[in-house]
Chains A and B, each alone.
Chain A
Amino acid sequence: MSRPDAIPASAVRSEANTVKPFNRRHFPLDGWEMTLVVLLVLVLVGFSWAAPGFYDGMPDLLSMAENFLPFGFVALGLSLVIFTGGIDLSVSTTASLTAVVVAQLWHGFGMNIWVAAGIGLLLGALLGAINVLVIIRLKIEPLIATLATSFIYGSIATAVAGNAPPSGFPDAFNALGGGALGILPYQLLLFVPLCLGFWLLVARSAYGRKLVMVGYNREVALYSGIRVERILVVAYVLSGVMAAVAGLVLAAYYSAARPDMGDPLLLATLTMVVLGGVSIFGGEGTMLGVILAVFILGFLRQGMMIAGFSDMVTTMVTGAILITSIAVKNLFNKRGTGLGNQLWALLRRPEATGSEPE
């Protein structure tokens, strides 16, 4: 259960002496991630066997990823925020607003679609920056702050979209959502390097260490001389940018921009991040886990749809997975409050103390 990859080295050393860093470097999977790998294999094999149409050759399986990778982009950015112990509820409307603004720049102002897309990414960064400024400067809880900005961004998106939101983008742009290079969808070609980047950022950079420390114990981080606010700014801005990327990819996929386009993003991405092993209280988790969870939940949803389950059931299952993963994390929480760990300790105590009476 321990995630030495992400928990600050000092914390790891103090709580578990058995961790051998060298072993970890050669074989960087911990218990949770191994579980996720097994789950992913189960999902893929299970549906290929049980749901006719799920596995129809590698190209089809890869192109199925187009249906859920927009969630993946958001999950990458959102996990940074959750690492800090915060939350970004505005990812959905950030994606919608970006899509609508880019579409209007292209349609209404005759701007080149790629230039407009670039502006869209900047807009995502700006919206993320507004979130974090509200959180830091106005000292408002991230939950409330991003809920409020989420309403604001959503309303602006509706206003900008107008009565007839633009659609029918150039084919070159649409390819970003539905095109492929050989058998590799462009979405996947964009997702893989971003995964690598985020993994390096969290697991292998000084920023990543500080990020996790801020989430694990903000006070300690502050007194250790970490510029907590700077860490937060980067996390929220990147979350905004990744939501914007998702907005662009969605717009390309549907060849249309709608002010409610990003709505389904929040529940699914939050579930991906939490299932990936990132603690909702911050300070724990790995990027690799999140990436695995993106594919597990994505293929699970596609598989269930192909097996004939209704949208209602898949949404319900997503909610159930969200609760289960948080519950399991809480049960085995390392911070002394985990019920599972307490039980485990209770079970082991007689063994340890068994010789004492004698």
Chain B
Amino acid sequence: MKFKKNAITLAACLGVAAVTATGALAADQKVDTSKRIKVAMVPKLIGLSVFKANEQGAKKEAKKLNIDFLYTGPVTASAQGQVDVFNSLIARKFDVITTTANNPTELAPALRRAMKKGIKVVSYDSDVAPDARDFFIQNTSYPAFGKALVDSVAKYTGPDAKIAILSSTKDATIQNAWIDALKAYMKTAYPKMEIVTTQYGESSPSKSLTAGLNIIQAHPDVTGIIAPDGAAEVGAAAAVQKLGKTGKIFVTGASDPDSIRQYVKAGIIKASPLWDEVKEGQLVMYVARLAHNNALKPNDHFEAPGLGSFEVKNKVIVFSKPLVFTAENIGKYHF
């Protein structure tokens, strides 16, 4: 959090400096918003609070950037439902489609069709196949998030704890990348720490709760549960509460503050990393505008007013460092 604030202040300073020092150049760098464009944001499913937080930020930014903004998606987390939506957006001649993919493969043909018709595609959160999008905004780098997850429990369980993992589905891209990253970090930072089991809650609250109960009952020596999925973290925390293990088992994961607030207050979740979803939504719109203007190269560098400066590496933009929610700061975040 501190880092983020610093980064933003720094960026703001730089911006001010740029304006005062080289007024003409700064004007050139300003994003061209003369033409009104239509941009759609297609989440994995509508009605999930993290994606709503993206929408909140995107809506705000769209106003500034002269964008006709539409938030639409399937009711269930289905890639085919997303493809239906893409098809309708292509027919309605949208200028940019932004999306977070339910799975990387099924969406690709439809998005390639969109690109062929001159529509720019920006993926965020969960990527699609690289040849089916113009840019990808990654939430946070995998190693950094893996580290944040392990640190969030290690402080409370001690360095030689037995840890269980409760993930979403077996083939979830991001979750698997995080799990690989946290294992790698664990090996170097806490060599005595041990992962005793990995279970899956299918991103369903009830299945996650059952899986959480199973873990605790089958492995009584577990003192930390890392659940890098929204539903899984809530399920694991609820299981700890249900079995009266508060203070003995610590949970962390990747969930929005609204969902975990009560467990953070209860002390079951001491620290839980994520990123600022609202600001990420803003960045998605900013990149959509740049992509439509053809103002962004596959390897580039740009400043987004109020968001900071970003590197584009091989069409991938890393959004931010993890933002860790704790009992102290969670009151400031509402999404």
Contacts and interface: CB of A to CB of B under 8 A. Distances in A.
A, B assembled together: yes
Interface of A: 52-54, 56, 60, 64, 67, 162-165, 167-168, 174, 177-178, 253-256, 258, 260-261, 263-264, 301-302, 305-306, 308, 310-312, 315
Best-surrounded residue of B84, B92, B106, B171 (most CB of chain A within 10 A): B106
Given A52-B92, A165-B105, A263 B75 contact: no
A274 to B, nearest CB: 22
B290 interface: no
Contact of A315 (B73, B75, B106, B108): B75
A311 B73 contact: yes
A311 B81 contact: yes
18 contacts: A60-B91, A163-B170, A163-B171, A165-B171, A178-B109, A254-B80, A256-B103, A256-B105, A258-B79, A258-B105, A263-B80, A301-B84, A306-B88, A308-B92, A310-B73, A311-B81, A311-B84, A315-B75
A245 to B, nearest CB: 17
A315 B80 CA distance: 13
A178 B90 CA distance: 15
Nearest to A251: B106
Identify the interface centre among A54, A174, A254: most chain B CB within 10 Å of its CB: A254
A178 B109 CA distance: 9
A60 B93 CA distance: 13
Contact of B88 (A60, A261, A305): A305
A299 to B, nearest CB: 12
Given A310-B46, A310-B75, A315-B75, A167 B105 contact: yes
Contacts of B299: none
Contacts, number: 79
Contacts of B46: 310, 312
B83 interface: yes
B127 to A, nearest CB: 14
Nearest to A301: B84
Contacts of A253: 109
Given A53-B91, A311-B85, A264 B171 contact: no
B87 interface: yes
Contacts of B81: 264, 311
A54 B90 CA distance: 10
Nearest to A313: B75
A255 B109 contact: yes
B267 interface: no
Interface in B65-113: 70, 72-75, 78-81, 83-85, 87-88, 91-93, 103, 105-106, 108-109, 113
A50 to B, nearest CB: 13
A67 B105 contact: no
A174 B112 CA distance: 13
A263 B78 CA distance: 10
A162 B84 CA distance: 26
A64 B113 CA distance: 13
Of listed A53, A162, A263, residue having the most chain B CB within 10 A: A53
Nearest to A253: B109
Contacts of A164: 171
A258 B88 contact: no
A301 B103 CA distance: 23
B80 A53 contact: no
Contacts of B79: 254, 258
Contact of B91 (A54, A177, A254): A54
Contact of A312 (B70, B75, B78, B80): B75
B87 A302 contact: yes
Contact of A311 (B70, B74, B91, B170): B74
Contacts of A52: 92
A302 B72 CA distance: 15
Contacts of A308: 70, 72, 88, 92
A168 B106 CA distance: 9
B48 to A, nearest CB: 14
A178 B114 CA distance: 13
Nearest to B75: A312
B109 A258 contact: no
A263 to B, nearest CB: 7
Interface string B148-183: 000000000000000000000011000000000000
Interface string B123-159: 0000000000000000000000000000000000000
A255 B105 contact: yes
A173 to B, nearest CB: 12
Contacts of B70: 308
Nearest to B83: A254
Contacts of B78: 260, 263-264
7 residue pairs, one from A and one from B, having the closest CB atoms: A167-B105, A305-B88, A256-B105, A53-B91, A254-B106, A53-B92, A312-B75
B55 to A, nearest CB: 14
Contacts of B92: 52-53, 306, 308
Given A178-B113, A306-B91, 13 more contacts: A52-B92, A53-B91, A56-B91, A64-B91, A67-B84, A164-B171, A167-B106, A177-B109, A254-B106, A256-B103, A256-B105, A308-B70, A312-B46
Nearest to A255: B109
Nearest to B82: A311
Contact of A255 (B80, B91, B103, B108): B108
A305 B113 CA distance: 17
Contacts of A178: 109, 113
Contacts of B170: 163
Contact of A305 (B80, B85, B109): B85
A53 to B, nearest CB: 4
Contacts of A174: 109
B75 A311 contact: yes
A168 B132 CA distance: 12
Contacts of A260: 78
Nearest to B47: A312
B306 to A, nearest CB: 30
Contacts of B83: 254
